[in-house]
Structure 1
Amino acid sequence: MILTYDGLCLFEFSTALETLGTPPSGWEDRWYNVAVASADGPHLRSGGGLQLAIDGGLELLDKAETILVPGWRAVSEQVPATLVKALRSAQHADSGVIAPIIPR
């Protein structure tokens, strides 16, 4: 599961998507089933203005084995409490969370 949000950094997002969502050359099957969850609703734009298609909202986190969180949009911006709660809930449900910064 890759978590997205409005103002997302495309470099970190695309690196995760390409690494996990694209099978290596010569392989027929993917290594992972990758889904994209949104913290900010169904219509998102990256920091550069690119529109993103997503698979669902924060409810998808509870079903994920691993959650990748690309770097937050600004170090000065508070992470929403709903997102912190969803990540903590998923972590307690034995999902692994991989993030540059785990919100407190």
Structure 2
Amino acid sequence: MHAVALAATDGMLSFELTIATEVFGENPRYDFAVCGSEPVRVGRFLLEPDAGLDRLASAGTVLVPGWADVDAPPPADLVDAVRAA
């Protein structure tokens, strides 16, 4: 089974989260996980990640959605986890 991990962070775009969940989360051929270091605010929703950011390192595919404030730098823990993957 192919592991897919979505790196979740506050302010990420809900559209990209929902599309990834529809494509990979409902398909039995994929082991899909939303990964984050803590609960994530997505619009008016609070999302509890399935796993920590360390899970990105073991995924075959890592998804990093965009976020609403393009001027905001990405969180350091997210950058470190993506680099480690």
Residue 98 of structure 1 corresponds to none
CA distance in 1: counterparts of 2:77 and 2:8, whole angstroms: 14
Answer yes or no: is the 8 Å Cα contact 1:21–1:31 preserved in 2. no
CA distance in 1: counterparts of 2:7 and 2:80, whole angstroms: 14
**Long gaps (5+) in structure 2:** none
Q: TM-score normalised to the size of structure 1?
A: 0.70
Larger relative contact order (C-alpha < 8 A, sep ≥ 6)?
A: 2
Residue 32 of structure 2 corresponds to 34
Please tell me whether residue 17 in structure 1 is matched to residue 21 in structure 2.
yes
1 or 2, which has the higher strand percentage? Answer: 2
**Long gaps (5+) in structure 1:** 24-29, 91-104
Which of the pair has more CA radius of gyration?
1
CA distance in 1: counterparts of 2:62 and 2:54, whole angstroms: 12
Q: TM-score normalised to the size of structure 2?
A: 0.83
Answer yes or no: is the 8 Å Cα contact 2:35–2:53 preserved in 1. yes
Root-mean-square deviation (CA, aligned residues, Å) is: 1.4
1:17 positional shift: 0.6
The 3-state SS of whatever aligns with 1:67 is strand
- State the AA in 1 paired with 2:29: W
Identical columns (%):
40
Structure 1 residues 76, 85: closer, same or farther in 2, change over 3 A?
A: same
Q: Number of matched residues?
A: 81
